[in-house]
């Protein structure tokens, strides 16, 4: 990397990418708590948590809007039997973050989840500023050592399995059955609850007759405005894989951060 400005630009983009990863497909960030605290009327959701967890993998399709800062779409497949594994394509569709990424010649990125790390592939303009490397690696254990903010990113990257949001709703003690509805041509049961995290969020989920999560909608507020995320899950049990990118084409996030800090 050729200058202080270039290094700091790379780190800024790396942080932006990490945040986009967390918002693309992550369940709400409320405390998991204990499912035993749930309202007894929500007991059927325990079967949903178990069935969705046992399924082990699914195709994911989601859209996220965070006020004026970011809007994006994500599509791919994720597995959660032995840690999160899978690949998503994340497309930036609007907001100030999308403008920043377009300035670096990137409108979409490939995201790969492995049990120990998350990888994001950037464009050639980013690689020009990062020593020719196209991939950013976020090692969860390393992020946890950087403080509470980075630890939260690590948790969000790993905590993407759909049954986790059901677990949180059960733990919240604030969830109720809304009724039966049709979701993408399938008969589903609609549940609604609230979670207390960094901000209070409303969560709606739709469950099919196999006790599998079909759709999730989260709504809340962020510092930049309203947050809305809609995710659809299908093809439970689908084969999932994610190949670790070549080391020579990969820049580690903590390495980038250290280089930028070293510039004073």
Residue 182, H or E segment: strand 175-183
> Residue 179: is its pLDDT beyond 90?
yes
Tell me the C-alpha distance between 218 and 228, whole Å: 6
pLDDT in tens, 151-167: 777 787 877 899 999 99
Is residue 264 a part of any domain in this protein?
A: no
Mean pLDDT, to the nearest integer, of 8-29?
70
> Residue 223: is its pLDDT beyond 80?
no
Is residue 86 a part of any domain in this protein?
A: yes
Q: Which range, 3-17, 24-38, 178-192, has the best average confidence (pLDDT)?
A: 178-192
> Residue 208: is its pLDDT beyond 60?
yes
CB contact burial 204-240 (16+ within 10 A = b; e otherwise): bbbbbeebbbbbbebbbeeeeeebebbbbbbebeeeb
Q: In degrees, to the nearest 5, what angle opens at C-alpha 117 toward C-alphas 112 and 118?
A: 35
> Residue 32: is its pLDDT beyond 60?
no
Token pair 């709504």 is found at 219
Is residue 122 a part of any domain in this protein?
A: yes
Higher pLDDT, 86 or 107: 86
Q: Count, in order, helices (H) and strands (E) of the chain.
A: 8, 12
All residues at 6 or more sequence positions from 160 whose CB lies less than 8 Å from its CB, including other chains: 25, 26, 27, 78, 80, 84, 113
Structural domain total, the chain = 1
Classify the C-alpha dihedral 191-29-91-74 as positive or negative. Answer: negative
Mean pLDDT, to the nearest integer, of 134-163?
84
Contact 159, 27 (CB under 8 A): yes
> Residue 211: is its pLDDT beyond 50?
yes
**Residue 217, both tokens:** 């909608």
> Residue 35: is its pLDDT beyond 70?
no
Tell me the C-alpha distance between 64 and 132, whole Å: 30
Contact 188, 50 (CB under 8 A): no
Is residue 217 a part of any domain in this protein?
A: yes
Higher pLDDT, 159 or 212: 212
CATH number at residue 192: 2.50.20.20
Is residue 102 a part of any domain in this protein?
A: yes
What is residue 1's predicted lDDT score, i.e. its pLDDT?
Answer: 41
Its domain, for residue 184, covers: 4-259
- Side-chain half-sphere CA neighbours of 76 within 13 A: 23
Mean pLDDT, to the nearest integer, of 133-158?
84
Token pair 């995201």 is found at 111
Residue (of 83, 67, 66, 79) closest to 24 by Cα position: 66
Tell me the C-alpha distance between 213 and 255, whole Å: 38
Is residue 190 a part of any domain in this protein?
A: yes
């Amino acid at each position: 990397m050729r200058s202080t400005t270039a290094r700091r630009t790379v780190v800024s983009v790396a942080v932006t990418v990490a945040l986009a990863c967390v918002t693309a497909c992550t369940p709400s960030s409320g405390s998991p708590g204990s499912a035993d605290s749930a309202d007894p009327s929500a007991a059927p959701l325990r079967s949903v948590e178990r069935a969705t967890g046992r399924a082990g993998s699914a195709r994911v399709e989601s859209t996220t809007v965070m006020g004026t800062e970011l809007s994006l779409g994500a599509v791919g497949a994720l597995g959660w039997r032995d840690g999160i594994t899978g690949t998503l394509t994340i497309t930036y569709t609007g907001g100030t973050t999308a403008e920043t990424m377009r300035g670096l010649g990137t409108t979409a990125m490939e995201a790969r989840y492995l049990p120990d790390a998350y990888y994001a592939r950037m464009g050639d303009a980013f690689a020009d500023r990062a020593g020719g490397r196209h991939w950013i690696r976020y090692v969860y254990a390393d992020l946890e050592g950087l403080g509470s903010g980075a630890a939260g990113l690590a948790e969000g990257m790993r905590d993407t399995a759909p049954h986790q949001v059901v677990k949180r709703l059960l733990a919240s003690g604030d969830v109720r059955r809304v009724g039966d509805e049709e979701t993408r041509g399938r008969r589903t049961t609609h549940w609604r609850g609230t979670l207390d995290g960094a901000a209070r969020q409303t969560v709606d989920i739709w469950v099919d007759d196999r006790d599998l999560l079909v759709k999730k909608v989260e709504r809340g507020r962020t510092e930049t405005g309203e947050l809305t995320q809609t995710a659809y899950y299908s093809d439970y049990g689908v084969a999932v894989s994610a190949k670790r990118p070549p080391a020579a084409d990969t820049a580690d996030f903590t390495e980038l951060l250290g280089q930028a800090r070293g510039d004073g």
